Structure 1
Amino acid sequence: MESRLLPGTLLPGTLPPGTLLPGMRLPGILLLGMLLLVVPPLWGQEEESGGLGFLPWQERTAFLMSSPGSLRFGLYGFANPALLATLHEPDLLFQWSDRNGFGEFDDWALFAAVPNLGFGVMERKVAGERIRDHRLALGFGSGEASSFGVAYGWYGGDADLDSQVTLGALLRPSPFLSIGLTGTRSFGSADYEGVLDLGLRPLGTERIALSGELPVNSVDRFSRIPWAAGAVVEPVAGIRVAARYVDDVGFSTGLEVSLGTGGLRSQVHLDTGGSHRFNTYGVRLGAYDRNLRDTHFPRRDTYLQLRIRGSLPHQRARFLDSGKTLQETLDALEVARRNPRIAGVVIDARGIGLSQGRAWEVGAALGALRREGRKVVLYVERGGMNVLHLVAEADRVVMDPRGSLTIPGYLIGRTYLAELLEDVGIGVDEFREMEYKSAFETFSRTGMSEAEREQSRRLVDGFYDLVRGNVTQGRELEEGAFDALIREGILLPAAELRETGLVDTLARPQELDGILEELEGWKPRRIGPQDLLPHREPRDDRWGPLPKIGLLYAIGPTLTGTGIRARELAEEIRSLRARDDVKALVLRVDSPGGDALAADLVAEELRKTAEEIPVVVSMGDLAASGGYWISMYADTIVALPISVTGSIGVIGGWFWDAGLGDRLRLHVDGVQRGPSADARFGPALPLIGLGLPGRNLTEEERNRLVGNLNRLYDEFVEKVAEGRGMDPAEVREVAEGRVWTGEDALDAGLVDELGNLTATLRIAREAAGIPEGERFAILEGPESPLLDFPPFLPRLGVERLGVEQPPEPDLLQTYLEMILERGGEPLPLLPFEYVHWHHRMGEGG
């Protein structure tokens, strides 16, 4: 299972698939055992030694303002290498003392680190000898509740000291407690040292931290423990006051001021009698740190630059895939909305290929920005009806001078195959017991049934009315002007679009800076999503395991081994339900249905999960029939206004060889025992590999299959009634296989809210009791595909490796295979044209 830490959130990271204790990773537990092996029992007989073979703890940490675990990142792995796992960006810290004058660098230290890797060098004069201490450190783990690390140290200068290895662990089981453990062992002697570093935050925040240090080594054992204690107060963001007392050494007070990507610090050191010894100073450069200006006096001077390419899939492949996902895009827009420095966004939509549902979701996020006074600039080259959802929410639409839109309106239709199948010799028998359940019409009719025409008209009108309302309001057009555009929309070039007011400016991308300056009256700077401040903020403000929300994806037909991969998805749901740190579950559904067994596997796990934690469903473009089945037990169902949902019903039918085998000179023969053993036996069609039953059903066989269909429909209705808290009679009024837009489904009581995936996560966060603005982790699953093969590559059997393939060009064959393989079974399945239309609209942008 993948993990991402999202706003009110953190940066991308990886969390463990399971835990032994709340918030403690298995490697952290193992490291504790390793420390017990590295550090021999400290209560044995004292060794005869003139001193440690390496610098003791109090000398190695002379530049610390407080204990390593209580103030930001300690000394970047120099004291405890496990702290490197908490570092979020590259950072550099230079410190020096004025023992022999301000400009004399007799004692100095340089610490450089990137996340999980650090190097430090410290030069000091100890007992008249100049010692240069070097350390290379590695940190591992999430940096959240537990992490561990290892460091190798060696010396230069005058002293003859041994190189050594340090193992470190950092455990933060709650927002109030930090436990650091280090064990150091010399390579040249039997000397060793163990240190316990405790941090306490009485308020559970970075405002106040108390600390204590207990080092014990092989020379002094327990006869002398040079303990240390301290405190850090951060009254306002980035201003930190620290105090530290080291036994038999003295007292120090310090001030650290963050300047964003830099900072300054200074300490005054006194001896145990209170006399001044020296001062130390420090300059930091690199990683962003919270600071007074950005927190309390932000300047709105920045635009977010966001590129939207392709379809914005729900998950990216684990390798060789740098594309953005839908959630990452919506997340960036939500972070920008909450960031007071963001004046607006530039959406670069060259190469856009969004389905209409995802286009609406992005448009809704842009609308939220505009409502808070941020500007939205959209750059587009070409597009279709779906891009209008973005156009409607833009303050300035910029189009390439050679660009165009194809916006002819909406159509739902299908190719009817009844006469073709009859002509080639394939018999078709439709089991249709529900008025609107029309999935088999493709094969059994030559035109739309009245019920299908009614529901298709309602869908098309819903799609059209929504986009017309948004565009006329957002672009200040009359409805008649919009309708005129659609009438001429077979191809509208950029110049005509500018004349109609749908486009504001014709320009190329390199001219955007000038357009922004004209729009704002000043020249804003542009940043990418990775530079947004909430993504760059340090993670030291909160200790302990983050609350987590599961985000699982049910994408494709409801099948067990492919499509939504129901068995795997059900296991993921069980796994999340068993975790104490998962506070809510969101299931994203984009499915036309398919197999009832697969749908029920997932629905049953969601029902059990909803008894323990909040469960929220986010519906995408399609969440109907079997797609609605897997949604019905959620505490809250959130749909898009243009989601296609409902279709509570099942369909079935029978294909058989009515002469095709004779025409193709195919002959079958066999022996049987059982009157229906031959019902599904027949010729296998060459080349395409589809098997076709050799005969029609008997009346008794047909009645049995139709009876099963009606029983499954009754069960479907009962389950929906249970999940939605409705009377079964109420469900039947909106069932009969009828599809609804999300907006109509809200009126029918089949969904609870309208909104995008961002809104769904907000609802889940609130239901989980996570306060607004507090970080939480998103645990995504099931595991994304290994690779995303481009559609021009041949199929090489890589599905055996668990690699997701691109959509098949012949969707009808895939659809037909699913029906034939189940031979008359009742299926909670949408008509083929919805699957095809959804696929085609995604390609059109």
Structure 2
Amino acid sequence: MKRYFIFALVALMVGGALAQGVLWGTAAVDDPMGMHKNPGYLGLGHGAESAVFGSFSTDSFSTMDIENTHGILLNLQGLAGGYENIGGMKRWTTGMGFGDRTFGIGYLRTWTSHDSWGGGWRNGWILGAIVRPWDFVSGGWSYESSPAMEGHRVGIALRPRTWRVTVFGDVLKEDRADWADIGWGAGGELHLVDGVRVFGRYDYFGKDDLGETVDQISAGLRIDNPFAGTGAIATTGIDGEWSEFSLYSVASSKKLPSLFKLPKTSLSLDLSGDYAERPQAGLFSPRKRAFGRLLRSIERAAEDDRVEALVIRYRFPNLNFAQTEELRDVLQKFKANGKPILLYADNLGNLSYYLASVADFIAIPPSGSGVGIIGLGAEMMFFRGALDKIGVEPDFVNIGEYKSAMEMFTQTGPSDYLSENMNEILDSYEAEFLGRIAEGRGISIEQARELVDNGPYTDIESDSLGLIDSLMYWDQFEEYVRKERKLKTQSFGAYALQQSREMNWGEPDRIAVIVVEGNIVKGSGGAGGLFGGASVGEREIISAVNSAKNNKSVKGIMLRINSGGGSALASDLMAHALSDAAEKKPLVVSMAGSAASGGYLVAMPGAKIFSDRITITGSIGVISGKIALGGLYDKLGITTARFERGENSAIYSSAEKFTPSQRERIHSGSLRIYDVFKDWVADGREIPVDSVDVLGRGRIYTGEQALEIGLVDTLGGFLDALDYLIEETGANRRDLALWFMPGLKASIESMLDMMAMQIPVLRELKSLPVYPFEDGEALYLMPFAIEVK
């Protein structure tokens, strides 16, 4: 058979080597230069990339003429485009790809013309796929139907032990060629150091009519800076001489391993808005940023040699006390690495000054308002008097004298147990509050307490007392940062979004972060409505646990808890699923603002429990009961009629209180549920059941107090739990993905909720702890929550 097509193909590949990505194997394509060899590359998620190239021959050394062989190729998040002129053959390309790091599929459409064809454009297409199930192997296939060829490419690539070494092999089968005429090629790439790579390839195309071997050798070198690379390639011609040379440049939106360092910079962080434990997005609310990702980004900046300082504009983000503690701790780590923190705020209160005190320089405007530190206080509302007036009778059974969550309905003031517990918590909160302010401003605890006792302060008083470092407006602060401190800043958001190029094949190691936040309810939770905050149901948590347990890329599970509990049944079912997962994968617990009652029970399967210093936890006890509305019905002229079968069929009726026998049944059932709670704690904490009862009875503790009595293992936040889990699992810290689960969807109710919270009484109604639960449902629910402002 004559091999006219082979010679045409050889001519095209020699003249347009770079455009065809000759140095890449079909399974090893790594930049836009190889998209025509295998469009499956477009689906692997390498961000935005571009490439330009030009070629010349030994005959044109004197002029470096690249007029007849040049081009530009683009990959914009899987959308491809390009133009090439290869020795007079012009080609336009468009296409797209989709997939993930383990599998990519792509399709290109081409339009090609050549002067010798007498005008017009000839259509073509290329379909390809790449599969990378593991970090050491890649398989590729593509089919091309174009004026250049019609046929299949199949290849395999291997990486023995490291991404720095790649070897690959290909076969090429044209539709019109005999199987005896199959071409093949082999090559490899070696990263000598970060930013310097060498590569080469040998291709065999068959034999000509004279029996001579038709082959080709290519070799090249590429040097990268952080976001671009420049390379040179030499290729042998049909005569075997090194006669074709190419220069090319690639650019990437993702940071490449580089021989060069980026210049020093400082970061400007606008600290405002919401930072959710689990990200939220919806039609009627802005996307909430993940609090854990904020912490990780600051930690990365703390360890990044090129980051010199952090400039914070504090605009009262929606963070609780425990989150602020964790944020302050990571800022302290940033500062401990010799990197200054400069903070500006319009004014400062208790929580904001607690955070600001970590900064090396604090400024506020000379507008009269200053530092409003006034100490910590708690105010509770009791509704019993109002309920009596409208004929509503709360009827609850508490297991544990400190289990006082329903006292707001059953009492006109706090019990002695509630008062005792509240004062213990406030003492612990105050110690943390004063201690960090004293540490940050270099004063004693006594001086800090005196400052708090005499607050609030005006701007001038704040300055004269050393609570701040300067009075200036924002524009003056910016000028101070730029001229006095000589800092060049970039957006913290841009820095946080800046990703490194994924050099490893296959899926990244994942840590599943399963977030239990809000009231624990049966079924499915939600983002919250007009009279209640977020809730989380056992269905979504169990589904998330099973997904993490069965996903091979998930190396470990972090259970992040910010919940005061809720449904006893839902809490137990969650704990059971988590216990099963803990037998298959490492599971650690990170307690945020609260992990109490049901929120504490679900932590029991964790191999290690991390708690913030001021986390609210414990509250081991049970509440059951209902609200009897019979008196209200009478006042409104509402009557009810019941038709019963069974002595206790009306036990959960909203019209009347429990009878003595019904109350006894509720009490005995609650005792059994309390025993279940104690058993979970005894097993999880490896302490006797009798000791659990002593520590329980509904009593709550701060994280520091819980550590002293063995209810948690260590003090630490999200980052500490993550570091521990990485060490335990051997996960790749450089190429690690956090998988926040379950996702939280917003609703129209969320928008109404934001409007309703402008009304003070609705803010109080929102805090009522019974709205998501059914009458008679046993609750693992903490008695109160403290909000520091």
Matched, 1:310 2:256: no
Matched, 1:774 2:731: no
Paired letter, 2:718: L
Matched, 1:101 2:60: yes
Distance 2:388 2:282 in 1: 47
| Equivalent residue number for residue 400 of structure 2 | 434
The Cα shift of 1:631 comes to 1.4
Paired letter, 1:386: L
Distance 2:722 2:435 in 1: 26
Paired letter, 2:499: R
Matched, 1:224 2:181: yes
Matched, 1:393 2:370: no
Matched, 1:250 2:216: yes
Distance 2:766 2:333 in 1: 42
| Equivalent residue number for residue 549 of structure 1 | 511
Matched, 1:528 2:492: yes
Counterpart mapping for 1:737-816 below 5 A: 737-771=698-732, 773-786=733-746, 791=751, 809-812=762-765, 815=768
Residue aligned with 1:564, SS? strand
Paired letter, 1:603: A
Counterpart mapping for 1:14-93 below 5 A: 61-62=17-18, 64=21, 66-68=23-25, 69-70=27-28, 72-75=30-33, 77-86=35-44, 88-93=46-51
- The structure-2 alpha-carbon separation of the partners of 1:673 and 1:716, relative to structure 1 and needing over 3 Å to count, comes to same
Q: Which runs of 5+ in 2 are unaligned?
A: 205-213, 526-534
- The structure-2 alpha-carbon separation of the partners of 1:193 and 1:401, relative to structure 1 and needing over 3 Å to count, comes to farther
Distance 2:675 2:782 in 1: 18
Contact 2:109 2:123 in 1 (8 A): yes
| Equivalent residue number for residue 199 of structure 1 | 157
| Equivalent residue number for residue 145 of structure 1 | 102
Matched, 1:458 2:461: no
- The structure-2 alpha-carbon separation of the partners of 1:765 and 1:263, relative to structure 1 and needing over 3 Å to count, comes to same
Paired letter, 2:620: I
Matched, 1:112 2:77: no
| Equivalent residue number for residue 559 of structure 1 | 521
Matched, 1:470 2:442: no
| Equivalent residue number for residue 706 of structure 1 | 667
- The structure-2 alpha-carbon separation of the partners of 1:267 and 1:813, relative to structure 1 and needing over 3 Å to count, comes to closer
Distance 1:449 1:809 in 2: 25
Contact 2:357 2:437 in 1 (8 A): yes
What is the CA deviation profile of residues 336-379 of structure 1, one whole-angstrom value per residue up to 9, with x for unaligned ones?
A: 12321111212222242321111112111111111222221222
Distance 2:719 2:748 in 1: 25
The Cα shift of 1:503 comes to 1.5
Paired letter, 2:126: T
Residue aligned with 2:566, SS? coil
Contact 1:557 1:591 in 2 (8 A): yes
User: Pick from 677, 681, 693: which aligns with 1:732?
Assistant: 693
Contact 1:67 1:197 in 2 (8 A): no
Distance 2:376 2:593 in 1: 15
Residue aligned with 2:425, SS? helix
Residue aligned with 1:558, SS? strand
Paired letter, 2:459: A
What is the CA deviation profile of residues 1-43 of structure 1, one whole-angstrom value per residue up to 9, with x for unaligned ones?
A: xxxxxxxxxxxxxxxxxxxxxxxxxxxxxxxxxxxxxxxxxxx
The Cα shift of 1:309 comes to 1.4
| Equivalent residue number for residue 507 of structure 1 | 472
Matched, 1:370 2:362: no
81-90 or 472-481, which moves further after superposition? Answer: 81-90
| Equivalent residue number for residue 554 of structure 2 | 582
Matched, 1:356 2:316: no
Counterpart mapping for 1:572-651 below 5 A: 572-651=544-623
What is the CA deviation profile of residues 505-547 of structure 1, one whole-angstrom value per residue up to 9, with x for unaligned ones?
A: 2233333443335664x33332333335x933211x2111222
The Cα shift of 1:657 comes to 4.8
Distance 1:794 1:261 in 2: 42
Contact 1:380 1:399 in 2 (8 A): yes
What is the CA deviation profile of residues 212-236 of structure 1, one whole-angstrom value per residue up to 9, with x for unaligned ones?
A: 2211111224222332222211111
Distance 1:606 1:87 in 2: 32
The Cα shift of 1:76 comes to 5.6
The Cα shift of 1:49 comes to 8.3
The Cα shift of 1:669 comes to 3.0
Matched, 1:421 2:387: yes
- The structure-2 alpha-carbon separation of the partners of 1:502 and 1:729, relative to structure 1 and needing over 3 Å to count, comes to same
Matched, 1:498 2:436: no
Paired letter, 2:190: V
The Cα shift of 1:457 comes to 0.9
Distance 2:245 2:97 in 1: 31
Distance 1:291 1:707 in 2: 65
Paired letter, 1:523: L
Residue aligned with 2:745, SS? coil
Residue aligned with 1:809, SS? helix
The Cα shift of 1:58 comes to 6.9
The Cα shift of 1:203 comes to 2.4
Distance 1:423 1:493 in 2: 44
User: Pick from 800, 804, 822: which aligns with 2:774?
Assistant: 822
Residue aligned with 1:436, SS? coil
User: Pick from 131, 135, 140: which aligns with 1:171?
Assistant: 131
71-80 or 305-314, which moves further after superposition? Answer: 71-80
| Equivalent residue number for residue 209 of structure 2 | none
Percent identical residues:
24
Distance 2:748 2:635 in 1: 41
Distance 1:618 1:400 in 2: 38
| Equivalent residue number for residue 664 of structure 1 | 636
Distance 1:466 1:648 in 2: 24
**Greater relative contact order, per chain length (Cα 8 Å cut-off, separation 6+):** 1
The Cα shift of 1:742 comes to 0.9
The Cα shift of 1:86 comes to 3.7
| Alignment RMSD (CA, Å) | 3.0
What is the CA deviation profile of residues 419-442 of structure 1, one whole-angstrom value per residue up to 9, with x for unaligned ones?
A: 443344333444234121111222
What is the CA deviation profile of residues 760-816 of structure 1, one whole-angstrom value per residue up to 9, with x for unaligned ones?
A: 222222222214x331222222122155776457999xxxxxxxxx99935547736
Contact 1:434 1:736 in 2 (8 A): yes
- The structure-2 alpha-carbon separation of the partners of 1:290 and 1:313, relative to structure 1 and needing over 3 Å to count, comes to same
Contact 1:421 1:427 in 2 (8 A): yes
- The structure-2 alpha-carbon separation of the partners of 1:117 and 1:658, relative to structure 1 and needing over 3 Å to count, comes to closer
- The structure-2 alpha-carbon separation of the partners of 1:753 and 1:273, relative to structure 1 and needing over 3 Å to count, comes to farther
- The structure-2 alpha-carbon separation of the partners of 1:96 and 1:734, relative to structure 1 and needing over 3 Å to count, comes to same
Contact 2:188 2:199 in 1 (8 A): yes
Distance 2:450 2:547 in 1: 54
User: Pick from 344, 368, 376: which aligns with 1:379?
Assistant: 344
Distance 1:413 1:710 in 2: 31
| Aligned residue-pair number | 755
The Cα shift of 1:79 comes to 2.5
706-715 or 508-517, which moves further after superposition? Answer: 508-517
- The structure-2 alpha-carbon separation of the partners of 1:72 and 1:104, relative to structure 1 and needing over 3 Å to count, comes to same
Contact 2:622 2:670 in 1 (8 A): yes
- The structure-2 alpha-carbon separation of the partners of 1:512 and 1:175, relative to structure 1 and needing over 3 Å to count, comes to farther
Residue aligned with 1:469, SS? helix
Paired letter, 2:268: Q
Residue aligned with 1:333, SS? helix
Residue aligned with 2:617, SS? strand
Q: Which runs of 5+ in 1 are unaligned?
A: 1-45, 682-691, 797-805
Distance 2:495 2:385 in 1: 60
Contact 1:65 1:254 in 2 (8 A): no
Contact 2:630 2:655 in 1 (8 A): no
